[in-house]
Structure 1
């Protein structure tokens, strides 16, 4: 067995001596690591004194303890990610004849026979619109290093069995999730028409006084980010959009797949992009057309009836708001993210870039989160909060006049 200190030294050397390849990205060695009965292959992407993170050629992440490593070997001087064809063929071998596997652009989708191609087309459409929207707003969006994989199971039982392997409990109402360690989206197909999934919304907003109709409450779990919805076509569509947005954001440099990510940033970005006017900006250029209807209605009720004084400081400093009331947290995340994107897009882009590229293995406590937020948007959070609420009230007034 190799001594942990020797392995730590080698991992550190591999991380710091990687050389730039074409396009400016650093190349790293392909390693083979044995931990107990398990063998892992990939590149070392981060380490501290206790563990290191190994990223496989298909994009999966594993945290390995130095003290548990049985053997450690460099098997190639250059790490190379799997191609779309390799990922497609691997899924075909793994899931067999019951499923169909289709590739489109950046996506490989494994789904029920006769439906995978349509799903792949929809996922790629979400990617292309996402990429264009955030590039225009000066967010530093990079091309994914790995093919993006979505698994669409034919029924809830199959989905639940797969989710259990990810450590995810498929509670009632959960139609899908993105796991940032496996780097895959998992969904189940309720049997509705695939063509109907990408249909447009009704853009007429309801009155925002009072609570909106909610299909289900949101639910989250460790190691993955999820939104649960109902079992209708719109529920599947909303789940696809929400979880694909997470997957794309984590693979294009907007979030880090290792370490702590403030939940309001991750969920705020996803809920902003849920709005049909955001995804179809060419025909819906007015701000009022780009709001997320459900999150907007919920936030206005929250702001008027139970949002405490000083809420902005506490909200950006930690994730407790999501524990206290999940829908309040999601709606607050949408409203703040939408406001910053619409009014301070350059500062928001710099802020996301700074958070995504901080040391992922260092704790990200309240003081550090506030420092980063204030560095981007100013230290007077009371003034910023007042401006934020005033903006939302003006938006509500414009909705009432439509």
Structure 2
């Protein structure tokens, strides 16, 4: 079930009740009917049930205020609250600057795969060609975040540092698309979407209560990388980047 976003002789674009975006040819529709006078998303309970059926028994699903996080069994405390906390910090960042964001229309879904192999296998099944060094991604078509546990369930500090960086970046994308900062149904300039993602990687942005110095708001790693690459680019490259 879903609502029609756009219709033409060539294609139909629909938003499904679980938040997925679906496009098909009108000729592919054999039977269709109006089932309701208004569109509503699945409830968190309905989404949880559908997600459990889709992913199988190797996953547990933990719900928070805005999230359903599917993760390896026995790892509830490692994942779910981190997603919710980042969502709240994102909303807070904009609210203190006078911008009121809308509530997400759908429960937001994140899937944490047990290892890199399962993560990449799922991406291929979905028709995505991701590079070997990708640790996670947000896909607007499904409205889901996918990542894998780089610590392999050990929870060691080095592994969790990578996990945390991936979660921060991808949750920023997901929250931005679900609260009206971006829209999933039109192109967002890469420098805007990725710029916001890298902004929130700075500890003073994503965890302002714990990192209060002004210098904590600067993404040092990204600045260093940018300066290194910028020194090798032609004059005026920023004009091309912003477009």
Distance 2:113 2:208 in 1: 31
CA pair 154-283 structure 1, distance change in 2 beyond 3 A: closer
CA distance in 1, matches of 2:92, 2:6: 30
Query: Aligned to 2:236, which of 310, 326, 331?
Result: 310
Query: 1:254 & 1:243 partners in 2: Cα distance?
Result: 14
Equivalent position of 2:199 in the other structure: 272
Deviations 1:197-236 (A, max 9, x none): 8xxxxxxxxxxxxxxxxxxxxxxxxxxxxxxxxxx32222
**Which of 236, 242, 264 is 2:163 aligned to?**
236
Q: In 1, distance between residues paired with 2:55 and 2:146? A: 14
Q: Which of residues 45, 49, 60 in structure 2 aligns to 1:89?
A: 49
Distance 2:239 2:27 in 1: 40
Alpha-carbon spacing, 1:81–1:311, altered in 2? closer, same or farther (3 Å): same
Q: How many residues align?
A: 242
SS in 2 for 1:72: coil
Aligned to 2:88: 128
Q: Which residue of 2 aligns with 1:386?
A: none
Please report how far the alpha carbon of residue 46 of structure 1 lies from its aligned counterpart in structure 2 after TM superposition.
Answer: 3.2
Aligned counterpart, 1:15: none
> How far off its partner does 1:68 sit?
3.7
Query: Which residue matches 2:35?
Result: 75
1:43-98 superposed Cα distances (whole Å, 9 cap, x missing partner) = 11234553232011110001222344333321221211111111112222333332
Query: How far does residue 110 in structure 1 lie from its aligned partner after superposition?
Result: 0.9
* TM-score computed with the length of structure 2 as normaliser: 0.90
After TM superposition, give the deviation of residue 194 of structure 1 in Å. 4.6
**Which residue pairs with 1:288 in the alignment?**
215
Contact 2:173 2:197 in 1 (8 A): yes
**Partner Cα separation in structure 1 for residue 74 and residue 172 of structure 2:** 25
**In structure 1, C-alpha distance between the alignment counterparts of 2:134 and 2:157, rounded to whole Å:** 20
Of stretches 256-265 and 130-139 in structure 1, the one that deviates more from structure 2 is: 130-139
Aligned twin of 2:180: 253
Counterpart contact for 1:103–1:117, Cα < 8 Å? no
Instruction: State whether structure 2 residue 112 is matched by structure 1 residue 112.
Output: no
Equivalent residue in structure 2 for 1:61, among 21, 28, 43: 21
Question: In 2, are the aligned partners of 1:110 and 1:116 still within 8 Å (CA)?
Answer: no
Alpha-carbon contact 1:109-1:149 (below 8 Å) kept: yes
How large is the Cα RMSD of the aligned pairs? 2.1
- In structure 2, the CA distance between the partners of 1:51 and 1:104, relative to structure 1 (3 Å rule), is same
The alpha-carbon distance between structure 1 residues 157 and 302, as it changes in their structure 2 partners (threshold 3 A), is closer
Closer/same/farther in 2, CA of residues 265 and 49 from structure 1, 3 Å limit = farther
How far residue 158 of structure 1 moved from its aligned partner, in angstroms, is: 1.9
Q: Which residue of 2 aligns with 1:152?
A: 112
Q: List aligned pairs for 1:348-367, cutoff 5 A.
A: none
- Deviations for 1:109-146, whole angstroms, at most 9, x for unmatched residues? 11111113431111001101111012222344211000
| 8 Å CA contact 1:153, 1:187 repeated in 2 | yes
Give how far 1:257 is off. 0.6
- Greater C-alpha radius of gyration: 1
Post-superposition Cα deviations, 1:341-380, rounded to whole Å, max 9, x if no partner, equal xxxxxxxxxxxxxxxxxxxxxxxxxxxxxxxxxxxxxxxx
1:49 to 1:315, Cα distance in 2 relative to 1, 3 A: farther
1 or 2, which has the higher helix percentage? Answer: 1
